[in-house]
Amino acid sequence: MDDLQQYARTMAGGARQAALQLAESTGDQRNAWLLRVAELLGTERESLSEANRQDIERAPEHGLTDAAVDRLRLTDDRIDGMVTSLHEVVELPDPVGEVFESNQRPNGLLVTRVRVPLGVVFFIFESRPNVTVDAAALCVKSGNAVILRGGKEAIHSNRALHALLDRAAGDCGLPRGAAQLVETTDRAVVGEFLGMGDLIDVTIPRGGKSLIQRVADEATMPVIKHFDGICHVYVDGAADLEMAGRIVVDSKCQRPGVCNAAETLLVDRRVADTFLPGVAEMLIEQGVTLRGCDETRQLVPEAEVADEQDFRTEYLDLLLSVRVVDGLEAAVHHIREFGSGHTETIVTSDPETSRRFTRSVDSSAVMVNASTRFNDGGEFGLGAEIGISTDRFHARGPCGLKELTSYKYVVHGTGQLKSD
When the beta carbons of 168 and 331 are compared against its own copies, the nearer one is 331
When the beta carbons of 229 and 398 are compared against its own copies, the nearer one is 398
Binding mask 388-417 for its own copies (x = CB under 8 A): ----xxx-xxx-------xxxxxxxxxxxx
What's the Cα-to-Cα distance from 406 to each of 98, 191, 272, rounded to whole Å? Answer: 11, 25, 47
When the beta carbons of 25 and 158 are compared against its own copies, the nearer one is 25
When the beta carbons of 143 and 237 are compared against its own copies, the nearer one is 143
How far is it, in rounded angstroms, from Cα 401 to Cα 383? 8
| Binding flag, residue 353, its own copies (CB under 8 A) | no
Which positions ≥6 away from 121 have C-beta within 8 Å? Answer: 139, 144, 145, 146, 147, 200, 201, 202, 203, 204, 404
| Residue ranges of E strands in 49-152 | 99-104, 110-117, 120-124, 145-149
Which positions ≥6 away from 131 have C-beta within 8 Å? Answer: 125, 150, 206
CB of 40 to its own copies, least distance (A): 30
Element (H, E) at 87: helix 76-91
CB of 80 to its own copies, least distance (A): 21
CB of 140 to its own copies, least distance (A): 17
What's the Cα-to-Cα distance from 409 to each of 95, 112, 151, 310, rounded to whole Å? Answer: 15, 6, 39, 48
Which positions ≥6 away from 227 have C-beta within 8 Å? Answer: 209, 212, 213, 340, 390
CB of 260 to its own copies, least distance (A): 9
| Binding flag, residue 84, its own copies (CB under 8 A) | no
Q: Is the sign of the CA dihedral 237, 326, 263, 355 positive or negative?
A: positive
User: Which positions from 224 through 253 interact with its own copies, judged by CB under 8 A?
Assistant: 240, 243, 246-247, 250
| Binding flag, residue 274, its own copies (CB under 8 A) | no
| Binding flag, residue 129, its own copies (CB under 8 A) | no
When the beta carbons of 48 and 332 are compared against its own copies, the nearer one is 332
- Give the chain's length: 420
CB of 187 to its own copies, least distance (A): 24
Piece in contact with its own copies (CB under 8 A), picked from 60-68, 167-175, 184-192, 369-377:
369-377
How far is it, in rounded angstroms, from Cα 327 to Cα 248? 17
How far is it, in rounded angstroms, from Cα 55 to Cα 63? 12
When the beta carbons of 44 and 344 are compared against its own copies, the nearer one is 344
Interface positions with its own copies (CB under 8 A): 23-24, 97, 103, 105, 109, 111, 114, 116, 118-119, 201-202, 222, 240, 243, 246-247, 250, 254-255, 354, 358-360, 362-371, 373-375, 379-381, 392-394, 396-398, 406-419
